[in-house]
Amino acid sequence: MTGLSKTDAKRCQQLLRFIASDLLGPVSGRMPKSSIESLEKASYHTNVQQHILDIVPVAQACIVKHEVTAKLPPFIRTEAVFGKKNLYLLHNATVSPHSGMAWIRNRIIEESVGSLRRIMDWGDVLHEPLLSARELRVPEPVVVCHPGTYYHWLLEVLPNVLYAVATFPDVKIVLPENPPRYVMEGLATALGPDVQHSFLFCSGPIRVERLVVPQYHTQPEFTPPQVLELLRSAVKAQVVPQGHSSTRGDRTDARIYVSRQKSRRRLAGEAELEARLRERGFTVLHCEELSFAEQVRAFHQAEVVVGCHGAGLSNLAWCDSPCRVVEIFPRNYILDCFAWLSFSHGLDYRHVICDTGHRIDEAAMSAVIAAVQ
């Protein structure tokens, strides 16, 4: 909050939470009990039903089990269940361009963000329904493309926007003011440069006549096969034409290391690892310095990808088999989302765990070098 001291800002935040509890109802585990867990499940309520114009299934439920020959620890999972994915067309609903959270009256729709528990670490957003909402009078349906982090935007938000555009061709895309570069470039890549004529930039919550709410699931570490197929057909094909053969073996950057040295969550000792990998023909990539299309091309052409767990590895979505992936985990944070991406594309996945927390120790470096030989 501009102009406020840290103490005053904290008091204002506490006050907002108190007001949220009073207006949204009792809070259990920081979640208002009045939130709507599932629009389908709550559609028998008259005060919910009157807001639902349509429920459009866009992906069917499925069970996926990857056959992996390597022996993996139990925290690297190879199977998952995916429920069907819906698009909800709602009447007289409100939405935030920053988080994508949608609500009708004062009831938050959990499916608009996956679940309220899921976004607690992204920042406190429960106050958003308390903010003044601007009436946005447009005849077309509206869908929000909120930035999220690069991983969530690429593998959840962008596909959901693509589903919305395919279902409602005249849909307007709402963005927050000054969205990240990857959002603008990714949308232009997927939908063409003329898509900017469909953009509406908003600084705060908006109330619209017709709102498209994509259904977000509670486990974003598992990307369903339909989403990966959509990204390849609707996005990658715009950068790398289908049938285009990669000349990976003739390129000097076919072996890439995804650096996190310019990230706020980096591992100490990374510079030494980069030097050792450069000696073995690796190119060091700082994904935040590349355009969206350049990231697609770089990972499409890669034959070996090494990187610390982080958003840059989201670009494994563009890799083709055969490609080896070596992911480095800090000891205190292990999540198998990039292992799942690798299995989904038939990539040769390996992982290395650092024994010293937030530092790449000598043992981990040696393990990485051995894995890329």
Which domains are assigned to the chain? 18-237 (no CATH), 250-371 (3.40.50)
Q: How high is the pLDDT of residue 26? A: 47
Q: Kindly state the DSSP code that residue 133 receives in the 8-state scheme.
A: P
Residue that is written with structure tokens 């349509």 in the block? 54
- Place 19 in a pLDDT band, splitting at 50, 70 and 90: low
Is the model's pLDDT at 53 over the cut of 80?
A: yes
73 upstream amide cis, omega within 30 of 0: no
Is the model's pLDDT at 17 over the cut of 90?
A: no
Neighbours of 44 (CB within 10 A): 8
Separation in Å, CA 100 to CA 57, 124, 206, 216 = 19, 13, 11, 10
Q: How far apart are the first and last CA of the chain?
A: 51
- 314-366: per-residue pLDDT in tens? 999 999 999 999 999 988 889 999 999 999 999 999 999 998 777 888 999 99
Report how far residue 329's alpha carbon sits from residue 355's, in angstroms, rounded to the nearest whole number. Answer: 9
Residue that is written with structure tokens 């000891």 in the block? 331
Report how far residue 200's alpha carbon sits from residue 173's, in angstroms, rounded to the nearest whole number. Answer: 6
What length does the chain have? 373
Q: Kindly state the DSSP code that residue 56 receives in the 8-state scheme.
A: E
Is the model's pLDDT at 15 over the cut of 80?
A: no
- 260-314: per-residue pLDDT in tens? 887 777 788 899 999 999 999 999 999 999 999 999 999 999 999 999 999 999 9
3-state DSSP assignment of residue 216: coil
Q: How high is the pLDDT of residue 21? A: 54
Q: How high is the pLDDT of residue 253? A: 63
Q: How high is the pLDDT of residue 115? A: 75
Tokens of 370: 């051995």
3-state DSSP assignment of residue 293: helix
Q: Kindly state the DSSP code that residue 281 receives in the 8-state scheme.
A: T
3-state DSSP assignment of residue 92: strand
More confident residue, 165 or 220: 165
- Mean local confidence (pLDDT), 197-201: 96
pTM: 0.87
**Mean of the per-residue pLDDT values for the chain?**
88
